Structure 1
Amino acid sequence: MRNHKVIGAASAVALAVGLVGTAIAPAAATGPEHTYLVLAPQGAGTKAAAARVAAADGTVVATYDQIGVLVARSSSTAFERAVAGRGVEAVASTDGLGTVLDEGEIVETVDSAVVEATGDPTGEPLWTRQWDMAQIDVPAAHAVTTGDPSVVVGVLDSGIDANHPDLATQVAKDQSASCIGGVVDRSQAAWSPTTSSHGTHVAGTIAAALNGVGISGVAPGVKVASVKVVNDDGYIYPEAAVCGILWAAEQGMPITNHSYYIDPWEFNCRNDERQRPVWLAVQRALKYASSKGGLAIASAGNSNVDLQHKFVDSGSPNDGSAPVEDRTINGACVDLPGEAPGVVTVSAVGPAEVKSYYSSYGQGVVDVTAPGGDSRWRNPAVSTATDAVLSTIPGGGYGYSQGTSMAAPHASGVAALALSAHPGMKPGQLASFLERTATPIACPDGVFELRPGYPATCTGGQRNGFYGAGNVNALNAVQ
């Protein structure tokens, strides 16, 4: 009985302590819900990391075991600190890491007549406006092949208008998906464009049909898949890019086009504690995609900077998450995905086949160049819309736009033709073939400044910083 009383007293004390402890220690503070990339150690799986997410008051919304990455959400203000530990290599909130898509402004729209299809790109109603296709020998290439429909190019972008008359037969709907928020949604409404024409413009350059309407794409015989990674506000977040890269890989897409960069600072610095997890996640995703047979082709950027050398980035961040600041860009900082290992990086040229005034460049960084347009090469003071690139835009129309975003899909289209004519090439072989079949362009002498205020200096010989191995060539690629 005495023992019972002692035990009871002890229990009462313990209960009292518990109650007092509960009263003193506040519950974990909460705030707005945030999205996080949680990285497990490479090759370790995500089970332990997922357990830590749950214990830290988070929810896993997407699991990418292939690369050891989780997309998690939590409203706990202590989540980032609490989730760290055994089983987690790195964690970062992606809030404030959204990048504004560089739309490459549609400077003029065009209507198209409808004519009888001839199977010849020069017979398309708007062909005479497609200086870009003539520049890279598309008509001669089409005499050999227009592409194989089994080749699907993933367009990681703002969505594709699958109802456009030049794209209605070209979109692989069964391989299309949205990756907004880092989560796959296969509904057509999710992967269609909402506020941006960018993805539809890119898709038309790659594969617009030979159907007697509008324009011709570089490879009208292949298919494109819409992999939407740009949200309705025009931002690309790292979790969407990682999701998109992995979706394309699992669908077996041999080529993916990336006309964007990740991170509002344009250059992701691996020595920055917050940005490093993004670099690791994207690098893992791209490496995995390559192992599955996918070649990534990306734009070099529109900042007219030498990507090889140290400089000061004075235009980031561009998402309003923090004041714009000056940052010294060095070897630890890269333009993602363009400067990631194994990615083909594409600069831009205009109708005169010289560097577009806006195109970034860099010896050892740029692999090839391609038509991206240059509305200022005739007269630096006046924009000439027809010197930009004409392609499809949502709603059934056509518009001119310029940028390295327009150059990359020309390279993707040529790569698709090459793979159609020479099936079986692995990503590294296809990248090398794209370079070997390019038309070399020599460096201009001295400082290149066709448009005042945009100086650039080219270094290198036959392979150089402005043009890499040269301008992609469709005819050479199919022979």
Structure 2
Amino acid sequence: MKLTSGRRVVAAATCAGLVGSLLSIALTPAVAGEPAAPTQKTPAATSAPAPQRAAGVVFGLDGDVKVAASTVASAAGTGPVRVASVVAEAAGQPGVVQFDSAVPVERARAAADAVAKLPGVAWAAPDLLLTADATPPVNPSDPDFRKGLQFNIWDFKSSRPSPEDGTAVALPAGGYGTKAPVFWKKTKGKASVVVAVLDTGRTKHPQLDAHTVAGFDMIKDKSSARDGNGRDANPQDQGDWGFDPSGSLIPSSWHGTHVAGIIGAIQDGKSVVGNAPGVRIQHVRVLGAKGGTISDIAAGVTWASGGTVSGLPKNKTKAAVLNMSLGGAGRCSDYPALQKAIDGARSRGSVVVVAAGNDGRDAGGYVPANCKGVITVAALDQLGQLTSYSNHGSVVDIATPGGEDPYYGPYLLIKSTVNSGKKKPESPAFGFMMGTSQAAPGVAGAAALLASTGLKGAALENKLLKSVRGFPSYSFYTDSNCTQALCGNGILDLSKA
């Protein structure tokens, strides 16, 4: 999308410490960067995504063929990389080669090509590191839903000022939020419906704890997990804090807690409320200090949806909906382990919702936004226009508010549950973020409400994508006006469900 107006572009920043050093593709949270001082708007398409890194290699074998781990390690380690360990393929899960530190994806691809040439190996690919798609400042506070701070769910205002000149712009009833309160007349969500949050993990919070079911920590890399071990049954968020180039602390984001609150924070009349306050949340920790690997994320998708992951106990509370507010540049077709996991989840009746990403570019170049079968979500501002950071394009299925730079007005970020700790978890709190990470859980919450009526699988997906209103068209910042080619079927609107 070519941007030509004077509207400011907010650079989409990944969480420091989330882009790391694994030879799996590194995926990061889908949260937009911290607002900066106003500058001239530049074409979003020119903003380069962060360099991709990988934690290792994932590979699959032909049928029942056996290939020695030492053979795989030897092939993967022939280039300028050092192999730390090799886990053989088991129970339908891909084999994993883990490097001793993350490397540029080009080096990982060379190692994968070497592994793919081994007799009996069907395919091999870099184990990309992905990151969360959101993480502005965490400002603990306790605003109330009725103060209109949750415009992403229901906007109490009848008009909002134009970001161009401040003139009033009329809004439909409820604005461009999800309109979940309309659906609450039918149900606020059933406890039998579980939404899996594949993210940084859980922190304790009074608005989430009572509705949280047992999850899992899928992070194999101990240094990224920061809990001293590999995969285990404790999905607690250990913090993703890091340091910027000047040595200043970048606080932990508590991204998974923020996303969970948008989905299902309980309605207690004291602060925020989620889109589906009656459903239950399941934290599947896949993002650590270094980000998240394709192999860990694929295992998380499989486990959360009730599939079998070798060596792990079965999920006793299978998720009807999976939310992945994370991503990184790449093509899903290059990572068959992830696509296979998504296909398996859908075959078991789960719906998979993902963030489009925050680089202001074509979402078709981002994983898992471009995976088949997922519902990809773009982020809108309070007026229903595409945000300056949101990815967009033909792979996007639906759009909903994700927050916008407060330069355009106060209270434009998305309020939700967080933690007050700078590094480790401390006290429950509330904070603001913006990003496609904040848009995706709005759609996941809506999917959970629909699941509470008995819908599942393809029927739920179809109903969700038809529960939309059309995009508004304005004479200002016309480059940010959405079309179906840019932003999907329409704006999520549960009053249409």
**What's the TM-score, normalizing by structure 2?**
0.67
Which of 471, 486, 490 in structure 2 is aligned with 1:441? 471
Which of 91, 96, 116 in structure 2 is aligned with 1:65? 91
1:160 Cα deviation after fit = 2.0
CA distance in 2, matches of 1:39, 1:268: 16
Specify the alignment match of 2:413 in structure 1. Answer: 388
The reply on whether 1:398 has 2:430 as its aligned counterpart is yes
Specify the alignment match of 2:208 in structure 1. Answer: 167
Specify the alignment match of 1:116 in structure 2. Answer: none
What CA deviation, in whole Å up to 9, does each residue of 1:297-347 have, x standing for no partner?
111112222446xxxxxxxxxxxxxxxxxxxxxxxxx31111111010111
1:242 is matched by which residue type in structure 2? A
What CA deviation, in whole Å up to 9, does each residue of 1:197-221 have, x standing for no partner?
2111100000001123321100011
1:55 Cα deviation after fit = 7.9
Larger Rg: 1
1:186 is matched by which residue type in structure 2? A
The reply on whether 1:247 has 2:303 as its aligned counterpart is yes
Which of 218, 238, 245 in structure 2 is aligned with 1:178? 218
Q: Per the alignment, in what secondary structure is the counterpart of residue 346 of structure 2?
A: helix
When residues 242 and 82 of structure 1 are mapped into structure 2, their CA distance, relative to the original with a 3 A threshold, is closer
Specify the alignment match of 1:227 in structure 2. Answer: 284
Greater per-residue helix proportion: 1
1:170 is matched by which residue type in structure 2? H
Q: Per the alignment, in what secondary structure is the counterpart of residue 86 of structure 1?
A: coil
1:106 Cα deviation after fit = 2.6
When residues 393 and 297 of structure 1 are mapped into structure 2, their CA distance, relative to the original with a 3 A threshold, is same
When residues 341 and 471 of structure 1 are mapped into structure 2, their CA distance, relative to the original with a 3 A threshold, is same
RMSD: 3.2
Report % sequence identity. 28
Contact map agreement 1:36 1:71 (CA 8 A) in 2: yes
1:158 is matched by which residue type in structure 2? T
What does 1:29-428 correspond to in 2, within 5 Å?
A: 36-41=56-61, 44-45=63-64, 47-48=66-67, 52-53=71-72, 59-61=85-87, 63-66=89-92, 68-73=93-98, 81=114, 84-94=117-127, 97-106=128-137, 108-111=139-142, 128-134=148-154, 135-161=177-203, 163-172=204-213, 174-181=214-221, 184-189=231-236, 193=239, 195-233=252-290, 235-250=291-306, 251=315, 252-262=318-328, 266-268=329-331, 276=334, 279-307=335-363, 334-362=365-393, 364-375=394-405, 382-394=407-419, 395-421=427-453, 423-426=454-457, 428=458
Contact map agreement 2:376 2:397 (CA 8 A) in 1: yes
Contact map agreement 1:438 1:471 (CA 8 A) in 2: yes
CA distance in 2, matches of 1:73, 1:414: 37
Unmatched 5+ residue regions in structure 1? 1-31, 113-123, 271-275, 309-333, 377-381
Q: Per the alignment, in what secondary structure is the counterpart of residue 373 of structure 1?
A: coil
CA distance in 2, matches of 1:153, 1:63: 28
Unmatched 5+ residue regions in structure 2? 1-20, 24-54, 76-82, 101-106, 155-176, 223-229, 241-251, 307-314, 420-426
Larger RCO (alpha carbons 8 Å, 6+ apart): 2
Contact map agreement 1:37 1:69 (CA 8 A) in 2: no
What CA deviation, in whole Å up to 9, does each residue of 1:71-105 have, x standing for no partner?
23467x998647842221233454xx424434331
What CA deviation, in whole Å up to 9, does each residue of 1:241-274 have, x standing for no partner?
1221122122331211111114xxx23385xxxx
1:348 Cα deviation after fit = 1.1
1:240 Cα deviation after fit = 2.0
CA distance in 2, matches of 1:256, 1:125: 25
Contact map agreement 1:53 1:59 (CA 8 A) in 2: no
Q: Per the alignment, in what secondary structure is the counterpart of residue 135 of structure 2?
A: coil
Q: Per the alignment, in what secondary structure is the counterpart of residue 110 of structure 1?
A: coil
When residues 107 and 353 of structure 1 are mapped into structure 2, their CA distance, relative to the original with a 3 A threshold, is farther
Contact map agreement 1:444 1:458 (CA 8 A) in 2: no
When residues 74 and 176 of structure 1 are mapped into structure 2, their CA distance, relative to the original with a 3 A threshold, is closer
Contact map agreement 1:40 1:46 (CA 8 A) in 2: no
- Paired positions, count: 374
